[in-house]
Amino acid sequence: MSTIAENIAKVGARIREAAQASQRNLQDIGLLAVSKTKPADAVREAHAAGLRDFGENYLQEALDKQAALSDLPLIWHFIGPIQSNKTRPIAEHFDWVHSVDRLKIAQRLSDQRPAHLPALNICLQVNVSLEASKSGCSPEELPELARAISALPNLRLRGLMAIPEATDDIAAQHAAFARLRQLRDDLALNLDTLSMGMSHDLEAAIAEGATWVRIGTALFGARDYGQPTH
């Protein structure tokens, strides 16, 4: 096996063990390969090893990769901060957006989603750790924002996403992920998605209900240039 295929197998084993430990159905937990800064060839290799969902933070890099990999049946997730002037290509070229944190962006995505495509799957990013440096709406803003976005015609609100403050404290990891799950459940909008957990804390995320774990470093190795790890 190649290094990427070996890494995928190792992460898959971690996910299986975490699912078993928390008595969850493995089929309910998706592996989202975070391929930002990695070349198209790495994505192609990961697809050959069984992955089909890929997360990108940087729009132009993602569009270049999509063009290079157009022969493959990949599902593309946008997971980075969204500027207003970038919404049209995101609406046109992605299947999921995990990082919506304000109504203006959601309205633009809805307005600009091509009519021939299915509704765009949306997660609302919540700043559960209340870090000044992090994107995301506040827990207090979430209910009103979720209700407004759930009414937009070309979007399908699926759930919530968070990037909690990085910590090696297992109890703190669990607490942050449990808070996101509770916020989702309190909305009472029948949402099915929790996008949470990365290479260092996927076990805690799965224990608390993650349906997507966003894994980059553990699959592809260290970032090619000093970007925040996912």
Instruction: With cut-offs at 50, 70 and 90, classify the pLDDT of residue 80.
Output: very high
Contact assessment for residue 206 and residue 19, using Cβ atoms and an 8 Å cutoff: yes
Instruction: With cut-offs at 50, 70 and 90, classify the pLDDT of residue 129.
Output: confident
Q: Which residue has the tokens 């890099």?
A: 61
How do beta strands 53-56 and 30-34 pair? parallel
Whether the pTM exceeds 0.75: the reply is yes
**Mean pLDDT of the region 200-206:** 97
**Mean pLDDT of the region 104-118:** 98
The torsion angle over the Cα atoms of residues 58, 206, 220 and 167, rounded to 10 degrees, is 80
Contact assessment for residue 174 and residue 210, using Cβ atoms and an 8 Å cutoff: no
The predicted pLDDT at position 1 comes to 56
Q: Residue 109 contacts by C-beta under 8 Å, 6 or more apart in sequence?
A: 87, 90, 91, 97, 100, 120, 122, 154, 155
Contact assessment for residue 89 and residue 108, using Cβ atoms and an 8 Å cutoff: no
**Mean pLDDT of the region 54-59:** 97
Output DSSP code: residue 187: H
